[in-house]
Structures are given as structure tokens and as C-alpha cells.
């Protein structure tokens, strides 16, 4: 199912409220341009983004790739080309989403919702697992406590950002020798780093 947004701010709001497999973004939009909207969206989620633009300058393309876009298509283009590029981006993205993540003797099974260390099952709460998965899906990115609270606990959860700190503390304890993979980013929140 496809969804549309008439401007950059609306696109950001839709990404906050829903999950998408792919975003096709035009650079020239009202209210907020595609550069700014893409930057904001990439701070929220690692959804693949394809940029459409009449601008063919190398500097624009390079800036978009620095923002993390997956492809850049210059207008005019054919519908067949767009579909082919969409398939290519989705295929690359699905390969990058591992069902099992292994770091040393730490094994995180996304589908089975299990964690093992040294072949021993680690018992964590569902929220700890969701927190770990979210941080892992955005590895090396600093995620604010507010975003974690919104994405892991649900936007309407009443508990405050201290809930995030408490769960991070428990998660680190359960990760044992891998506890340092969950890094505190002073003044912001946390990130999964390796």
C-alpha cells in the first residue's frame, strides 16, 4: 500500500506515526525541502530513501548520499527505471537486515526473539529485547531517550525518560561482557556501537 505527503513536514510526521518499506522523496517540496526532510527522517528511522530531482549537480547528489539516501534519480525518468531502482534498493536493504546478529559469542535472533552469550540463553524482558533491537537497527547512531520512549514504548506511554534509563541499565546487566556495546551519549541518549 502506498501513502503520500504533500510537503516535507507532512512526510516527517507520517514517518513518526507509521512504518514504511521505502520512501521516494522529491527535493523540491513546499514548506520543507527534500534535503531537510530526508535528514529528519534518517534521524528517526533507517528506512531506504530514493531521491527524485530535476537537479543534476554533483554536489546535490553527494550531499544526498551523505544524508544516507539509497539512490538519486534525475528527472526525466521512465516509470520502468523507477520500478527497477525501487526493486534494487529494497533487495539491498532486505539483505542488510539480518535475521540473526552475531558479535563474538553474543547472538541476537530477531525472529526467535532470543539472546545467547557463550551458547547460554540470556533471559530479558520483551521491552529490553525491543530496546536492544531498535538500538541495533540504528547502530552507531545516537538515539535520544525521547525517540526511544516513543519507538519502543509507544508514543502515549506515560513513564518518562527515566524508564529508558532503567531498561538500559537492566539490558547492560544482562549483556554481561557485552554491556559496553550500549553506549551512553551524554546529553542525548544511547547508541549501540561496535
At 2 the pLDDT is 81
SS3 content of the chain, % helix, strand, coil (to 5): 45, 20, 35
Asked whether residue 115 carries a pLDDT value surpassing 80, the answer given is: yes
Could you tell me the fold of the domain covering 100-192?
Answer: Arc Repressor Mutant, subunit A (1.10.10)
More confident residue, 55 or 105: 105
What confidence category does residue 72 fall into, taking pLDDT thresholds of 50, 70 and 90? very high
Is the bond preceding residue 174 a cis peptide, omega within 30 degrees? no
At 150 the pLDDT is 80
- Looking at the chain, the domain(s) classified CATH 3.40.50.2300 span 8-96
At 182 the pLDDT is 96
- What's the rounded Cα separation, in Å, for the pair 184 and 194? 13
What dotted CATH number matches 8-96? 3.40.50.2300
In this structure, what C-alpha cell is assigned to residue 33? 525541502
Asked whether residue 95 carries a pLDDT value surpassing 60, the answer given is: no
At 157 the pLDDT is 54
User: pTM of the prediction?
Assistant: 0.51
Task: Map residue 47 onto helix, strand or coil.
Answer: coil
The gap from C-alpha 128 to its chain's centroid, in whole angstroms, comes to: 18
pLDDT above 70 covers what percent of the chain? 93
Amino acid at each position: 500500500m502506498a501513502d503520500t505527503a504533500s510537503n516535507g513536514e507532512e512526510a516527517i510526521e507520517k514517518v513518526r506515526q507509521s512504518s514504511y518499506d521505502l520512501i521516494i522523496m522529491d527535493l523540491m517540496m513546499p514548506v520543507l525541502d527534500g534535503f531537510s526532510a530526508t535528514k529528519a527522517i534518517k534521524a528517526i528511522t533507517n528506512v531506504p530513501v530514493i531521491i527524485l530531482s530535476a537537479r543534476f549537480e554533483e554536489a546535490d547528489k553527494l550531499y544526498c548520499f551523505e544524508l544516507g539516501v539509497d539512490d538519486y534519480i534525475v528527472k526525466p525518468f521512465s516509470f520502468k527505471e523507477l520500478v527497477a531502482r525501487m526493486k534494487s534498493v529494497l533487495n539491498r536493504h532486505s539483505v542488510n537486515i539480518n535475521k540473526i546478529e552475531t558479535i563474538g559469542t553474543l547472538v541476537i535472533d530477531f525472529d526467535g526473539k532470543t539472546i545467547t552469550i557463550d551458547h547460554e540463553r540470556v533471559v530479558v524482558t520483551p521491552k529490553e529485547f525491543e530496546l536492544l533491537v531498535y538500538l541495533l537497527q540504528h547502530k552507531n547512531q545516537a538515539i535520544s531517550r525521547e525517540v526511544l520512549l516513543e519507538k519502543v514504548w509507544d508514543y502515549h506511554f506515560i513513564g518518562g525518560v527515566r524508564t529508558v534509563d532503567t531498561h538500559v541499565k537492566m539490558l547492560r546487566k544482562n549483556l554481561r561482557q557485552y554491556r559496553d556495546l550500549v553506549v551512553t551519549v551524554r546529553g542525548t541518549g544511547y547508541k549501540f556501537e561496535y
